[in-house]
């Protein structure tokens, strides 16, 4: 991958997106960091910092135009923006679920539709969709988030088939649990549900909280370095697991009855 490649990354305020910007910049690439609140990324050592809301097409258009005006191309798009809200399907507010899908799924589609025409002009491009290992198997009280990440898997597979003749590669990154603000944000988004002692699902919420307290989390710098090495490869595989615990890597290959048994016990 040539060092003059222009890499546009969404969701750079914290976590993987932020560390990915640093890692790629240190390697000498032209990195465009974006976040809804541009003030949160002003300290990043990147080539360009822009405000971007992936749910708003006008915001996306402004960013694409500014990047093209400055660099004349976009070689790599990293769709990293995303978040989680938890709760049993019976109890989860559908407006919360729709907002999550707007970012996690339709936000990716918005970005893809904006960038592909520009990549096609150059007959080259890479689209990196950051999904989750939760897009491979479902956990109780996390069904809506898992559904959004299952969707990312499907979108990525479809894109890879549709763009094959345009020399635009697509892959999906499937991270395991990373030490970021992800879980803190998730709890804030779901606090009323997760702390409801009168809920029929309170035992699930309590068990989930205990599990998260003892869960081993990977340093986002380690995950970002692994992802940077992946996206800079000449040829991309269809998907890559990053920082996924051994049990999770195994569970996705188990038959349904065994996988569900383990999830119930957890």
Hey, which residues are catalytic here? Answer: 145, 149
Mean pLDDT score of the chain: 94
Of 27, 3, 112, whose CA–CA distance to 64 is shortest? 112
Domains in the chain (CATH in brackets) are 6-265 (3.40.50.720)
Asked if 46 contacts 31 with a C-beta cutoff of 8 angstroms, the reply is: yes
Q: What is the rounded average pLDDT of the residues 137-154?
A: 96
Rounded Cα distance, 83 and 93, in Å: 15
Over residues 199-247, the pLDDT tens digits come to: 999 999 998 888 888 888 899 999 999 999 999 999 999 999 999 999 8
Phi, psi of 218 (to 5 degrees): -85, 140
| Alpha-helix runs per DSSP H in 47-142 | 57-71, 94-101, 107-122
pLDDT tens, 44-56? 999 999 999 999 9
Look at residue 15 in the predicted model and tell me its pLDDT. 94
Q: pLDDT digit string (tens) for 102-129?
A: 999 999 999 999 999 999 999 999 999 9
Q: Is 89 helix (H, G, I), strand (E, B) or coil?
A: coil
- What is the rounded distance in angstroms from the CA atom of residue 18 to the CA atom of residue 40? 10
The whole-angstrom separation of Cα 137 and Cα 176 is 12
pTM: 0.94
């Amino acid at each position: 991958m040539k060092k003059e490649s222009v890499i546009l990354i969404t969701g750079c305020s914290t976590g993987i997106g932020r560390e990915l910007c640093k890692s790629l910049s240190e390697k000498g690439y032209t990195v465009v960091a974006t976040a809804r609140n541009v003030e949160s990324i002003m300290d990043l050592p990147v080539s360009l910092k822009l405000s971007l809301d992936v749910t708003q097409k006008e915001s996306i258009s402004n960013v694409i135009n500014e990047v093209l005006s400055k660099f004349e191309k976009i070689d790599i798009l990293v769709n990293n923006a995303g978040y989680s809200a938890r709760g049993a399907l019976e109890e989860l507010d559908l407006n919360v679920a729709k907002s999550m899908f707007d970012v996690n799924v339709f936000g990716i589609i918005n970005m893809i539709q904006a960038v592909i025409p520009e990549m096609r002009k150059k007959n080259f491009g890479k689209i990196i969709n950051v999904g989750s290992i939760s897009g491979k198997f479902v956990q109780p009280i996390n069904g809506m988030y898992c559904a959004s990440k299952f969707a990312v898997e499907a979108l990525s597979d479809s894109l890879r088939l549709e763009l094959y003749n345009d020399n635009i590669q697509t892959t999906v990154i499937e991270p395991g649990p990373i030490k970021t603000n992800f879980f803190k944000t998730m709890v804030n988004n779901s606090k009323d549900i997760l702390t409801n002692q009168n809920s029929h699902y309170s035992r699930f919420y309590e068990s989930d909280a205990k599990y998260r307290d003892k869960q081993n989390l990977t340093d986002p710098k380690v995950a970002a370095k692994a992802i940077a090495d992946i996206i800079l490869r000449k040829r991309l595989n269809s998907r890559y697991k990053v920082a996924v615990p051994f049990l999770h890597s195994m569970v996705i290959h188990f038959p349904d009855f065994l996988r569900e048994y383990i999830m119930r016990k957890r």
